[in-house]
Amino acid sequence: MVAPADRPGEEPFDVDVCTPRWLEARAAEHGPIVGRHYPTVVSFPVRPGWSCLGGVGNGYKVASDGRTLISRDGLRQYRPPSYKLLLDRWQANFEERVVPSGEWQSNGHLDIWDLP
């Protein structure tokens, strides 16, 4: 969610991250691609417990699924990348809520193209 640092987010967002190999395959299939809105990385280090992207901060708890990270205050949650069959891509989720229990009110996605 996007918002000032002292307030909960209000607008959902999606970010696509792709590799040069994905861009090359996409261009071969669809023609030239303008690089705008395509953050590109050579590799994407996906490791259990990697919390810098998740924004959960130090002191996070690992949820019962063994993968999801929840911030110490219980207001932010990071679900590491998993393959979404219906979308045909890998996706990580960033969720936020205004109280430390109950349903998550906001959800942002990070789409990661071409993970091995």
In the chain, where the domains are located: 14-112
Higher pLDDT, 99 or 23: 99
79, 58 Cβ separation under 8 angstroms: no
What is residue 35's predicted lDDT score, i.e. its pLDDT?
66
Arithmetic mean of pLDDT over the chain: 75
Please write the tens of the pLDDT for every residue from 49-88.
444 445 777 788 999 999 898 988 998 898 888 888 888 8
pLDDT at 9: 61
Amino acid identity of residue 4, one-letter, is: P
Query: Would you say 38 and 18 are in contact if contact means Cβ atoms under 8 Å apart?
Result: yes
pTM over 0.75: no
Confidence (pLDDT) at 41? 58
